[in-house]
Structure 1
Amino acid sequence: MALPDVIQHQDFLLTLNTNEENLIKDALPGVDVYPLFLDPENGTWVIRAIFKPGITLPKHFHTGVVHFYTLSGRWNYLEYPDQPQTAGSYLYEPGGSIHTFHCPEDSGGADGFMVISGANINFDDNNNFMNIMDAGWIEQMIIAAAKAQGVIPRYIKPGAIAGFSND
């Protein structure tokens, strides 16, 4: 069997090394982010996030699935205090999950890699709707934070021929 003819040939690997990329500080308050892959059209966002000790994010409802691998530190969902996520933990979150991310003050922070499909619907402490956080919203937050810091974010941007955001 012969190889198929390829209409859109990718002639290079799209590789990012977070040791060489700009960290976008406080992309969200208390969260530093390495954007890796942002696809607003298909609703997928891949990031490495560093959470500061003591940070609690808004309660949120996931419209899609999340894969979260903890690289270092410790965090938990307030709704599951007896199930801390520590270095080496892989967490699968099905669509429809509702929870509140928390990184305890004594944790030293946490560093994690996430693949997220869909959106987070965020709520305040009284369970009132706050906002929708999806790949497009994340991209805009990252661009704004990076611009304020005088850095240019570099991440993989899909399309007919995928490339980097700054190409």
Structure 2
Amino acid sequence: METTYEDFEPMCKWQREQNIDTLEVHLPGFKRQQLKVQLSSTGMLTITGERQLDETKGKKSRFRKEFPVSKDYQPNQIRAKFSGGILYLVMPKEVSTVSAAGENVTSSGSFLSSIKNMNKKIALEILIAISLAVAIGVYVKKNCQCSNNIWN
């Protein structure tokens, strides 16, 4: 008996909150064992499912959803839960706070990176100030013909 597939697009709904987003994928008639959720090393989240529709005719229903996971999320904290025909994908966001210097600091180990970026910014500002002072000095020396005797 040959298997035939009926592809479909499940209804999806986002619940967005300040620190966490939840994707609801509505899958009536599916069981947890018929679903697969994978997060690739490239940050692509893939959700697939397949279930038998008609046992005597070998007909199956299936779907495939893919979307890139934003860098706003903590990939190691993404969790899936299936309940009442709905697959919940819970995706915690990176928690940002503002440091005393006004820089955004994230909680996922990029604090040192923020400090390095802040130091680069300060170094660039100092370099610009020194360059400006040198340019003004050269301009004044070249364009101001001052003599020691102002009463000529």
Structures share fold, TM-score greater than 0.5: no
More helix by share: 2
Q: TM-score, normalised by structure 2?
A: 0.19
Larger RCO, structures 1/2 (Cα 8 Å, 6+ apart): 1
Q: TM-score, normalised by structure 1?
A: 0.18
- Larger Rg over CA atoms: 2
